[in-house]
A and B are shown apart, each in its own frame.
Chain A
Amino acid sequence: MKRLLLVLGLFAVLATPAASATRSTPKINVYAAASLVNVFPAIDAKETYQFAGSNTLATQIKNGAPADVFASANMTLPQQLHDAGYCSKPIVFTRNKLVIVVPSSNPAHISSIYDLTKKDVTVDVAAPGVPVGTYTVQILDNMNLYNAVEANVVSQETDVTTVLAHVTSGQVDAGFVYSTDAKSVPGKVKVIKIPAWAQPKVKYGICVVSASTNKTAAHAFIRRVLSAKGQLKLRKYGFLPRVKPHHHRHRHT
């Protein structure tokens, strides 16, 4: 019994410094789309990040994960969370577009999206439901290539970073990722562009999680992302401005 008390006492001693450290600097938990893995720490290095497929993060938040901010690679998921009362009204903080990446050796000699329909080409995509997976399906639908390319898909990943990793390591011939992901591994992949007319509207939404115990810091984080400095960092990492330049603007907000 005495030993048990000793052990418990030891735990208390060990736990104290950590507890007091978190009190002095309120760190928040940012649950962010996997494609933000490089840029978010560059905007704000001191927060705790959880990067994964946006849909995985949304499920975790619904199940009570201790997130303060949710940054999704689409507007659908944060909007759904907002409608169900799990987060504040999401706002667009950046945009992106998709590209095809192939290993730098380009073993399947791919020079356009149409080459992905060739026999024995192996293609990696994110699962539908993961934002980038849904965008991939939209592109293939727009170009009438869905059935032909789907026949060559060898795996559906739970986030975009896995697709990128399979291409950089040469395990597959091609993969659909964001242009920002391709930019993060210069020299390791060759980028094949997707026609602009087939590109879906890729808008990233951000919101404050309703269950957050640190809403002030969460709002401050979002302000940092939306600030001129934050937006400049996003541009530097290849993201598109949060609103399209004026002469391109459509009817929507």
Chain B
Amino acid sequence: MKTRLGDWLGGAVFVVLAAVTLAFLVLPIVGIFVHTTPGKLFVELSDPAVRDAFVVTLKTSVAAQALIIVFGTPTAYLLATRRFRGHAVAVTLVELPLVLPPVVAGIGLLVTLGRVGLLGSRVPFFSIAFTQAAVVVAVAYVASPLYIRQAIAAFEVVDPRLPAASRTLGAGSVRTFFRVMLPLARGGLIAGLALSFARGLGEFGATIMFAGSLQGVTRTLPLAIYYELDVNQDAALAMGGVLILVSALLLLTLRIALSWQRSPSNASPSLFGLSSSR
């Protein structure tokens, strides 16, 4: 009797704690939508300041993610398929921006690529602080580890016999990469891109430190939300609402993409590739 009551109590405590957790995670999002009706949202979204923020965010995000794919995919491929001296160090360095506070990343970029910075003061080409290029670099810096980690995991779970077979059948290493590895790792790569995109959209600390905040040039959605909160709270909430919807969409993409990669040979790659990259 006593143990059954104990069991029941224990179960009840777990359910209550889980309910509190869920409510805690969801309530702030509910709060934003309670404050912005869809009608109000559309009115605020036509505000020029809000439109500019959208354009800046879209342009810089696309550019940053393109850079991440172009530079990150080969990096991830090498880290996933080659073992060399310093491999662990290289993987750690790739992951470092992930745990770095964004403001630290921002000040690091400023003293490197600012005009009195390490590179910026010597080579004018690298002096990009307070420009749109600075936003792209800040976003790429903080978001790339998410893509690269997921891509490493995606390449690692490809059955090594498949690229080997491709090579014995006469395909070169480049052809094998594009025709065998990329299609097989597709799901994981798209999932990584979705994660990286979501992180990039929310970028604030590194951007405001390194790129500043100027409407139509460097003021992305998060910066505009921060700025508009003191000027026009409705506009800030409307932009927040849109970012929530986009984030939800990206999360959905991620789930779908990850389910593509599920096959008998690889049980369940985790969100961050933690289980499969170790």
Q: Tally A-B pairs: CB < 8 A.
A: 48
A122 CB contacts on chain B under 8 angstroms: 130
Report if B218 contacts A (CB, 8 A): yes
State the Cβ distance, B225 to closest chain A Cβ, in Å: 12
Report if A189 contacts B (CB, 8 A): no
Report if B110 contacts A (CB, 8 A): yes
Scan residues 111-141 of chain A and give those whose CB is less than 8 A from a CB of chain B: 122, 124, 127, 129
> Are A55 and B230 neighbours in the complex by a CB distance under 8 Å?
yes
State the Cβ distance, A188 to closest chain B Cβ, in Å: 13
B231 CB contacts on chain A under 8 angstroms: 55, 129
B129 CB contacts on chain A under 8 angstroms: 171
Report if B116 contacts A (CB, 8 A): yes
State the Cβ distance, B120 to closest chain A Cβ, in Å: 10
By beta carbon, the residue of chain A nearest B129 is: A171
Scan residues 81-118 of chain B and give those whose CB is less than 8 A from a CB of chain A: 110, 114-116
Given A55-B231, A58-B230, A127-B227, CB of A156 within 8 Å of CB of B116: no
Compute how far the CA of A155 lies from the CA of B130 in the bound complex, rounded to whole angstroms: 7
Is the contact region of chain B dominated by helix, strand, or loop, or is it mixed?
loop
Report if B253 contacts A (CB, 8 A): no
> Are A155 and B214 neighbours in the complex by a CB distance under 8 Å?
yes
Q: Residues of B within 8 Å of A, CB-based: how many? A: 20
Compute how far the CA of A217 lies from the CA of B110 in the bound complex, rounded to whole angstroms: 43
Compute how far the CA of A59 lies from the CA of B237 in the bound complex, rounded to whole angstroms: 14
> Are A155 and B212 neighbours in the complex by a CB distance under 8 Å?
yes
By beta carbon, the residue of chain A nearest B232 is: A129
Could you list which residues of chain B lie within 8 angstroms of chain A, going by C-beta atoms?
A: 110, 114-116, 129-131, 211-215, 218-219, 226-227, 229-231, 233
Could you list which residues of chain A lie within 8 angstroms of chain B, going by C-beta atoms?
A: 53, 55-56, 58-59, 122, 124, 127, 129, 153-158, 169-172
12 A-B pairs with CB atoms under 8 Å apart are A56-B230, A122-B130, A124-B212, A127-B213, A127-B227, A129-B227, A155-B211, A156-B214, A157-B212, A158-B213, A158-B230, A171-B110
